[in-house]
């Protein structure tokens, strides 16, 4: 089966050029030799970069002594003729070994249900590029959501305690309340139970570990001209002895409406359309309207819910014992002493350091785990700008109604917080760089931060996302950040195809805009080790880090199933959006599995992960 992996030891040697020798550079049992001189002067001396003890295979970047073996053993493609959006969020029912996947690419929202109790591995054949496009899984049940619940499906979750399926359904009209649709999945066919009304635009739903609560992140985005701007909120639905409450508890952020300045001091970022008239509407956005919950993780002891506020670069912590809430700004990542490729027009891989450049973490998916009895939060730092359009007849009408620009496809631009650095006037501290397409001038940054003294010159630049994953403690302090590892590893592996987009093979096309874009995230324990799996939306690959000790994190592997041949049609699995980890004891293969929903290819990929 497909196995493309890079071991941490040999790869970090290549990246850093550091010696990986023993005490005296003694050679142990030698692995197969890669291309001569790749890692040192002669490529064979332990002093110069290859230690035979580790059995390094320079040609393939694999190690017989690697901690994990990872193989693609299952694959399905939903809506093959129009796959985009057909496989975004996935969940797993352990009792029946079934995979559930949201499929929103057709005329109505459905959930596809696939059996994962056997895998015909012979059906998955690699093409000449080493990519698997075949399938050995198919949908056995199609659950038509709109038979009982009106709206668009955004998220699903499964509770093993009560054998329940919860589906987050967003209303078609901006500002209208959404629904959580509940199904009994204890039998062969899901049986609808009830809808429970929640907040506007429910974007993610999850169960507590004991099955006693359902939590919902209601993003509450505005419409294009801000005439409707619902508050972001968090809904809690109680479940007592398997009985689902008829109404949800709503947690809002209205108590913070008079505290914006204090929150900004904490590193929380707000949009700034206030005081403008757009399409006849005077904009007066409150803090509660501006805060937009994205994703939720519940602590192992079910006492706390950690909620990412992606666009706001913040974290909300809900005490589930009294439903109180606390906001924490995530601050900003300093790129001064790290390597960063800022342009998609600089001819390829071109890393530099940029004093004065910062990253807003802006995590999408988050998860949590415990170490020494303490809670830690893990974030995939995707980043996200804000951009809104409303319909109008033509450009003149757009500008007359307070619009900023007109586009025939999108309509009238009412608000955007994103610009390219070359369109900003930079302060003298940036005299060291070229503010043009060959350098940082192409980088997309926010306009709402950086002009510290409001004189029209930017003393700091703030990019979207951190091109990394981060571990935080419960105080909101950074315990570990992967720094520039994701960029450097993918540049070493993919070369000219580095920072590709998810729907093209031009290479370097995302360097100006969040890079490989870590978005999906899953944590899983294999043996006695805890691993973080980080899905890269644009590159399509998945990074693996050992986070057993959050203060001693190590890179483990990188795997992918994507064609990267320049100017060719892309094949394989594209844009991992959601992931579910299956422990070995719940797997049909008796090995741990990682189920990945790939949004652009509409494919479900099942990877088997075993320890060596």
> Which CATH number belongs to the domain containing residue 302 in this structure?
2.130.10.10
| Total-model pTM | 0.89
pLDDT for 65: 62
Whether residue 408 is contained in a domain is answered as: no
Based on the domain organization, do 319 and 179 belong to the same domain?
yes
Torsion over CA: 420, 422, 428, 434 (sign): positive
pLDDT for 284: 92
The answer on pLDDT for 86 being more than 90 is: no
pLDDT for 104: 81
Based on the domain organization, do 27 and 165 belong to the same domain?
no
Based on the domain organization, do 250 and 278 belong to the same domain?
yes
The answer on pLDDT for 468 being more than 80 is: yes
Based on the domain organization, do 556 and 477 belong to the same domain?
yes
Terminal-to-terminal C-alpha distance of the chain:
17
Based on the domain organization, do 36 and 140 belong to the same domain?
no
pLDDT for 570: 87
Whether residue 389 is contained in a domain is answered as: no
The answer on pLDDT for 21 being more than 60 is: no
pLDDT for 82: 82
The answer on pLDDT for 410 being more than 70 is: yes
The secondary structure element, H or E, covering residue 69 is strand 68-77
pLDDT for 6: 42
What contacts 4, CB < 8 A, 6 or more positions away? Answer: 130, 558, 559, 560, 561
pLDDT for 83: 86
d(CA 307, CA 181): 21
Tell me the pLDDT band of 462, cut-offs 50, 70 and 90.
Answer: very high
Based on the domain organization, do 19 and 109 belong to the same domain?
no
Whether residue 435 is contained in a domain is answered as: no
Mean pLDDT throughout 43-48? Answer: 37
Whether residue 396 is contained in a domain is answered as: no
Name the residue among 1, 7, 4, 10 with its Cα closest to residue 34.
10
The answer on pLDDT for 17 being more than 60 is: no
Whether residue 23 is contained in a domain is answered as: yes
The total domain count for the chain is 2
Lowest pLDDT segment from 21-30, 104-113, 361-370, 569-578: 21-30
Domain boundary (66, 87, 120) is at 66
pLDDT for 569: 81
CA separation (Å) from 484 to 70, 358, 464, 478, 560?
24, 13, 15, 15, 19
Note down the domain range covering 595: 67-384+465-611
Mean pLDDT throughout 159-164? Answer: 98
pLDDT in tens, 184-223: 999 999 999 999 999 999 999 999 999 999 999 999 999 9
Tell me the pLDDT band of 47, cut-offs 50, 70 and 90.
Answer: very low
Q: What single-letter DSSP state applies at residue 343?
A: -
With beta carbons less than 8 A apart as the criterion, state whether 534 and 543 touch.
yes
Based on the domain organization, do 29 and 88 belong to the same domain?
no
The answer on pLDDT for 422 being more than 90 is: yes
Based on the domain organization, do 87 and 198 belong to the same domain?
yes
pLDDT for 45: 38
Name the residue among 493, 486, 532 with its Cα closest to residue 511.
486
Based on the domain organization, do 238 and 321 belong to the same domain?
yes
Structure-token pair, residue 295:
């994703």
Based on the domain organization, do 519 and 477 belong to the same domain?
yes
Whether residue 441 is contained in a domain is answered as: no
Mean pLDDT throughout 72-86? Answer: 90
Domain boundary (29, 49, 66) is at 66
The secondary structure element, H or E, covering residue 213 is strand 213-218
Domain boundary (43, 66, 89) is at 66
Whether residue 25 is contained in a domain is answered as: yes
With beta carbons less than 8 A apart as the criterion, state whether 215 and 238 touch.
no
pLDDT for 266: 94
Based on the domain organization, do 9 and 105 belong to the same domain?
no
Whether residue 26 is contained in a domain is answered as: yes
Based on the domain organization, do 193 and 327 belong to the same domain?
yes
CA separation (Å) from 225 to 181, 228, 412?
30, 8, 9
The mean predicted confidence, pLDDT, of the chain is 90
pLDDT for 51: 40
pLDDT in tens, 218-256: 999 999 999 999 999 999 999 999 999 999 999 999 999
The answer on pLDDT for 49 being more than 80 is: no
């Amino acid at each position: 089966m497909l196995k493309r992996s890079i071991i941490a030891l040999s790869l970090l040697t290549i990246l850093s050029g550091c010696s990986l020798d023993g005490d005296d550079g003694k050679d142990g049992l030698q692995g197969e030799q890669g291309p001569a001189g790749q890692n040192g002067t002669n490529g064979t001396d332990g002093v110069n970069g290859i230690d035979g003890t580790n059995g390094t295979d320079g040609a393939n970047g694999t190690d017989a002594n690697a901690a994990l073996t990872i193989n693609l053993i299952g694959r399905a493609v939903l809506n093959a003729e129009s796959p985009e959006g057909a496989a975004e969020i996935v969940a797993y029912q352990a009792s029946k070994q079934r995979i559930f996947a949201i499929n929103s690419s057709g005329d109505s929202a459905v959930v596809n249900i696939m059996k994962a109790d056997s895998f015909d591995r012979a059906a998955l054949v690699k093409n000449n590029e080493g990519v698997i496009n075949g399938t050995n899984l198919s949908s056995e049940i199609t659950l038509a959501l709109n038979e009982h619940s009106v709206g668009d499906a955004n998220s699903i979750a499964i509770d093993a305690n009560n054998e329940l399926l919860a589906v987050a359904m967003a209303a078609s009209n901006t500002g209208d309340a959404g629904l959580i649709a509940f199904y009994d999945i204890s039998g062969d066919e899901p049986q609808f139970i009830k809808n429970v009304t929640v907040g506007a635009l429910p974007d993610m739903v999850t169960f507590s570990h004991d099955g006693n609560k359902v939590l919902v992140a209601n993003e509450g985005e505005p419409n294009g001209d801000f005439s409707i701007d619902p508050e972001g909120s968090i809904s809690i639905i109680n479940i007592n002895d398997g009985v689902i409450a008829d109404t949800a508890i709503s947690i809002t952020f209205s108590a913070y409406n008079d505290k914006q300045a204090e929150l900004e001091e904490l590193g929380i970022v707000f949009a700034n359309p206030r005081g403008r008239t757009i399409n006849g509407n005077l904009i007066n956005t409150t803090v509660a309207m501006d805060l937009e919950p994205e994703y939720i993780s519940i602590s192992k002891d079910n006492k706390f819910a950690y909620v990412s506020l992606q666009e706001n670069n913040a974290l909300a912590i809900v005490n589930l014992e009294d439903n109180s809430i606390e906001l924490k700004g995530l601050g900003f990542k300093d790129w001064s002493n790290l390597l960063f490729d800022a342009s998609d027009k600089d001819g390829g891989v071109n890393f530099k350091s940029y004093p004065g450049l910062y990253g807003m973490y802006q995590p999408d998916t988050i998860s949590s785990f415990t170490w020494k009895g303490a809670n830690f939060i893990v974030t995939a730092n995707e980043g996200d700008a804000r951009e809104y359009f409303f319909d109008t007849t033509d450009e003149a009408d757009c500008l007359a109604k307070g619009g900023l620009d007109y586009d025939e496809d999108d309509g009238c631009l009412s608000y955007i917080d994103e610009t390219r650095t070359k369109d900003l006037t930079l302060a003298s501290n940036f005299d060291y760089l070229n503010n043009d397409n060959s350098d940082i001038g192409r980088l997309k940054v926010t306009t709402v931060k950086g002009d510290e003294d409001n004189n029209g010159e930017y003393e700091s630049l703030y990019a979207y996302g951190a091109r990394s994953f981060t571990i935080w403690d419960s105080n909101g302090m950074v315990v570990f950040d992967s720094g520039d590892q994701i960029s450097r590893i993918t540049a070493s592996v993919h070369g000219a195809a580095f920072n590709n987009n998810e729907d093209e093979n031009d290479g370097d096309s995302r360097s100006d805009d969040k890079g490989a874009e870590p978005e999906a995230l899953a944590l899983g324990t294999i043996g006695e080790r805890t691993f973080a799996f980080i899905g890269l939306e644009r590159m399509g690959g998945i990074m693996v880090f050992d986070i057993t000790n959050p203060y001693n994190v190590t890179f483990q592997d990188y795997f992918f199933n994507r064609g990267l041949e320049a100017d060719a049609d892309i094949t394989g699995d594209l844009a991992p959006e959601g992931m579910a980890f299956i422990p070995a004891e719940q797997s049909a293969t008796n090995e741990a599995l990682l189920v990945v929903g790939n949004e652009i290819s509409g494919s479900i990929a099942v990877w088997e992960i075993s320890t060596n």
